[in-house]
Amino acid sequence: MAQINHLNTIHLNYLNPLLKWRVMNLESLRQECTNVPNYFNFCKIIRSLEKAKILEGYRHPFNRKKYVYLSSFGEDQLSLTENPSSVSKETLIHDIKVSEIGKSFVDLGWMNNIQLEHELHNKRNFRVTYKIIPDALLEGIKKGVSYKVALEVELSRKSNPRILEKARQYAASNYYNYVMYIFSKRNYMEKYIEIIKSGVNAEDFNRFMFFIDETMSANPTDLSEMEGYFKDKRVKLSEVFGPVK
């Protein structure tokens, strides 16, 4: 293991965005750093953090971008004593998409605040109080009214009972104003719509949004072009959350 005796301010500048976004491609991470560093020097430090086992890297098989995230050793070095970011190799593609989509909502100015699942877990008694934790919690304001959206990114199809149970938990919750599913396959979306529509009342069903990005696994997600269904109408995501900056 390469020796890094202590994490200095340069290291922390590069690592801190990962406490929020968990897993990021190199350019996105560089842009999130304070005083955006020179790309060559940035990559040099990233490589040293990987050699020291503080970061782990992943090369996406389709877009070929390099992604990095904190290793368990790196989390220890940052003294994450509560609930660490907990990126696992089994869910890495899913975590990449959730982070990317959440960050896009902020960058487009459609949401004021995003909290990913690991941040919600760190809130004392969040699950006990609100019963269910989404992939991300989106918080926005429209026409002067604040609202909360539970985000679920579905790259695989869950079992029918699991889909219905989770939907009913959301329907019973007053904490989330809306629930937004984003799918990688059209047949997944159609099945979820069918199951949820038949399992909750009409008023609650109108709180659910269903959107699709069939190139999600290979390409960055373009929220401005994403289409789906909300209140039984076909809509663009941009029509629901406002114009692009």
What pLDDT, on a 0 to 100 scale, did the predictor assign at position 245?
44
Task: Work out the percent of the chain whose per-residue pLDDT is above 90.
Answer: 66
- Per-residue pLDDT tens over the stretch 33-77: 988 889 999 999 999 999 999 999 999 888 889 999 999 888 888
CA angle 150, 173, 200 (to 5 degrees): 90
Burial letters 188-225, b for 16+ CB under 10 A, else e = bbebbbebbeebbeeebbebbbbbbbeebbeebbebee
- How far is it, in rounded angstroms, from Cα 238 to Cα 180? 13
Mean pLDDT to the nearest integer, 192-205: 97
CB atoms within 10 A of CB 240: 18
What pLDDT, on a 0 to 100 scale, did the predictor assign at position 87?
79
Note if the pTM is more than 0.85: yes
User: Across the chain, what does the average pLDDT equal?
Assistant: 89
DSSP one-letter string for 3-64: ---S--HHHHHHHHHHHHHSEEEHHHHHHHSSS---HHHHHHHHHHHHHTTSEEEEE-TTT-
Q: How many Å is the Cα radius of gyration of the chain? A: 19
Instruction: Please report, as a single letter, which amino acid is at residue 158.
Output: K
pLDDT band at 81 (very low <50, low <70, confident <90, very high): low
Mean pLDDT to the nearest integer, 23-32: 95
